[in-house]
Structure 1
Amino acid sequence: MTDDPIADQLRSLARSEESLKSDEARKSLQAALSHASNRTVQRAANMIAEAEDASLTADLVKAYWRLKRNPLKKDPGCLGKTALVKALVQVEYADMEVFRDGIHYCQIEPHWQGEIDSAAEIRGVCAIGLVHFAPAIEVLNRCAVLLSDQWPEARLGAAQALGALGQIEGAPLLRLKLLTGDTQAEVHGECCSAMLKADREEGLAFVQQFLTSPDPDQCVQTALALGEARLPGTFDILRSAWGRRSELNVRESLLLCIGLLRTTKSQDFLLSLIDRRDIRTAADAVKALRLNGPMGDLRERTEAAVEATESDALLRTFREEWLN
C-alpha cells in the first residue's frame, strides 16, 4: 500500500480478473485519468487500451486536453498524453479533433544532451489515428510532413500510418523516403513494410535492392519487412541475400527472416543447413525453424537433423529453443 489510494486501486485492478467495465473499476479509472500524476494517467490509459474499452473515451479526451494546459508541469516527458492518444487509437476513436491537434504538437524539454521534443511519438501516433476516419489525402499530406520530421518517433509513426492506409497513393512518398534514406534503421524498415502493403505488385522489386546496403542494420530491417510480408517470391530473394552477405550477425538475422515465411521451401532450406560442418549456421537455422511454431512434424524433423550432427552444442541449442 502507498499514500496514494488511486494508484493502489489501479494496482489492484491490474492484479484482478475483474472486468474494467464494472462500476467500481470505471470509477477508479476515471479518478486515475484526472489524477495529478502523469504516471498514474499513463497507467490508467494503458489499461484502457489493453482492454480496448471504448466506454471511457470521453474521459480519455478530457484528460488529454487537461494535460495540454501547462504541459511541462502537468505532463513532463509527455508520458500521459502519449498513453492517452495510443488508447484513443486502440478504441478506434472517430472524432479527429485530438489527432489533428496532436499531429503537430511539440513539447521541447531540457535533456542531459541539450533539448528533446518529448511529443514526437504523439505526432506519429496521431497520424495512425487519422488513417481510418480522415480523408486519405489528409493522411498523405500529414505523413509527407512527418516523414521529414526531426525526430525518429514521428517519422516512424508516419511510416506505420502509411502502412495502415495501405493505398497505392502512398507509394510515391515511401519510394522517395526510402531513396533519400533515414538515419534510423527502424524507420527504414517501417517504410519498407508500408511499401509492401501499399504497392504489392512493384513494392517487392523496389524494396529488395536495400538488401545489398552497406549498412547491416538497413539490410536486416529490409529483410524483416520482407519476411513479415510473406509475398510470393520472397524466399528466393532472402536466400540469395543470405548467400551474398558475409557478416555473421546479418546472416543469422536473414535466416530468422526466412523462418518467418513458414513455407515448405523455407523449412526445407533451413533443415538442409543443419550440418556438423558449420555448427554456427546450423544453430542459426534451428532458431529460425522455431519461428514456424509446432507445425506438423517439423519439430521431429529438426530434432532428427540435429541428432545426426552428433553435436552436443547444437543439441543444447535445440533444447533451449524448442523445449523451453
Structure 2
Amino acid sequence: MAKSQAKSRKLEETLALLTPVRTDPTSEEAIVTLHQVLNSKSAIAVSQAAKIIGEAELYSLIPALVAAFDRFSINPTETDPSCQAKFRIAEALYRLSYSDEALFLQGIRHVQMESVWGGKQDTAANLRGVCALGLVKMNYPHVLSELADLLADPQPEARIAAARAIAYTATDQGVPLLRLRVQIGDQPSVISECLVGLLTLAPERSLSLVTRQLYARKASSLEDTELAEVAALALGETRLPDAFAILKTWWHQVKNSELRQTGLMAIAMLRQDDPLNFLLSIVTTGRLQDARDAIAALSLYRQDQKLWQRVCQAIEQRGDASLSIEKG
C-alpha cells in the first residue's frame, strides 16, 4: 500500500509540473520542464506533455519525443498501459510534420494486447490510426499498402482511421480500396468514413455506389437503418448538385420515420437554394411530422437571420399553432 501511495504521489507531483507550462509552453522554463517530464516513467504524464508539445508546435522537443516513444515500446503493456503515451507522442510528431517513417511504420503495425474482463483487448488502434496519418503527411511512397492493411484491421477504430487517411492522401489511387471495403461490408461507422472518403476523392464516380447504400436493404433492422443514414449524410456533406435529386427521390420512397428525418437533415446540409426551398415547402404544406422534421433540419441555419425569417414565415403561413413553439 505504501509503495502504491508513493507512486501516486510521484505522479501527482509530475503532473503538477505541467500546470504552469500550459500558460506559456514556449518559455525556456517550460521547455526544460517538458523535457524533464518526457524523461519520466509515467505514461500518463508523458502523454499530457506530448499533447502540450504538439499543440504548441515545439519542434525542438522532437528528439525527446522520439526517445520517449522508443522507451515506452519496450515491455509496452507494463510501461505504457492503454498505449496512451505512444499515441500522444505519435500524434504530436504528426502535428510537427516528423518525417522519419521508421517510427510511424512501427506504430501503424503495433498491436498491444492487454488483459480485460473476459479476455484480451488490443489498445493500440488509435496509435495505428495516427501513424497512418503521419505516413500520409510525409508522403511515404508505400503508404497505400500500409493503409490497405489497416483497412482490414480487426479493430473498427483502426479501419475508420485508415479510410480517413486514404481520403487525406488527396489522390484517387485509394478509391479502389474504399470501394472494396464498402462492397465487402462493415460496421456503419466504418462504411460512413469510406463513403465520405469516396465522395471526397472521386465525387462524381462515387455517387452511384453511395446511392446503392441508400437502397441496399429494406431498413428493417437497426444496422440497416444506420447504413442508409450514413449514406444519406455522406451525400449531404458533398454539397453536390446531383445529390439533391438522389436524396429527394429516396426520401419520398422511404417509410422509416428516422430515415425520413435523416433525409431532410442531409438535404439541409447541401446548403443550396433548391434543397432549402424544398424544405420550406414541406414546412408550409407537408405532413405535420414532416414539417416538424424540416424545421429541425433548417435549424442548421438559425444563425442566418434572413433564412430563419423565411422559416418563421413558412410556419406562420401554415397556420398550425402546434408548430409555433419551433420558431423560438
Q: 1:143 Cα shift?
A: 1.3
- Quote the Cα distance in structure 2 between the aligned partners of 1:34 and 1:283: 57
Equivalent in 28, 31, 53 of residue 48 of structure 1:
53
Structure with greater proportional helix content: 2
Alignment of 1:238-257 (within 5 A): 238-257=247-266
Question: For residues 203 and 3 of structure 1, do their structure 2 counterparts lie closer, same or farther at Cα, with a shift above 3 Å needed?
Answer: closer
Work out which of the two has the higher radius of gyration on C-alpha atoms and give 1 or 2: 2
* Structure 1 range deviating more: 151-160 or 309-318: 309-318
Match of 1:7 among 15, 36, 47: 15
Aligned partner of 1:200 in structure 2 is: 203
RMSD of equivalent CA atoms: 2.4
CA distance in 2, matches of 1:314, 1:12: 52
SS in structure 2 at match of 1:205:
helix
Q: Is the 8 A contact 1:259 1:267 kept in 2?
A: yes
Displacement of 1:233? 1.0
Deviations 1:238-284 (A, max 9, x none): 22222222221222122222222111112112222224863432232
1:281 corresponds, among 282, 290, 293, to: 290
* Structure 2: distance between partners of 1:12 and 1:318: 46
Change (3 A) 1:207 1:44: same
Change (3 A) 1:98 1:250: same
Asked if the contact 2:160/2:193 (under 8 Å) is kept, the reply is yes
Report the counterpart of residue 67 of structure 1 in structure 2: 72
270, 291, 294: which one pairs with 1:261? Answer: 270
CA separation of 1:165/1:6 partners in 2, compared to 1, >3 Å: closer, same or farther? same
Contact kept, 8 Å, 1:276 with 1:311, in 2: the verdict is no
Select which of 184, 188, 209 maps to 1:185. Answer: 188
| Secondary structure, aligned partner of 1:236 | helix
d(CA) in 1 for partners of 2:72 and 2:255?
51
Task: Identify the match of residue 159 of structure 2 among 155, 159, 178.
Answer: 155
Contact 1:262 1:292 in 2 (8 A): no
Q: Is the 1:96–1:134 Cα contact (8 Å) retained in structure 2? A: no
Given residue 85 of structure 1, which amino acid in structure 2 is its aligned partner?
Answer: A
**Aligned partner of residue 183 in structure 2, secondary structure:** helix
Deviations 1:86-134 (A, max 9, x none): 2222222222121111111110111224211111221122111111323
Q: Are 1:33 and 1:63, in contact at CA under 8 Å, matched by a contact in 2? A: yes
Mind listing any 5+ residue stretches in structure 2 that lack a counterpart?
A: 1-8, 218-223
Secondary structure of the residue that 1:35 maps to in structure 2? coil
Note the C-alpha offset of 1:144. 1.3
CA contact (8 A) 1:99 1:130 kept: yes
Q: Verify the 8 A CA contact 1:99 1:127 in the aligned structure 2.
A: yes
Cα distance, 1:185 vs. partner?
A: 0.9
Could you report, residue by residue, the CA deviation over 1:137-196 in whole angstroms, capped at 9, with x for unpaired residues? x111111111111111111111111101121211111111110111x2111011111112
Instruction: Report the TM-score when normalising by structure 2.
Output: 0.86
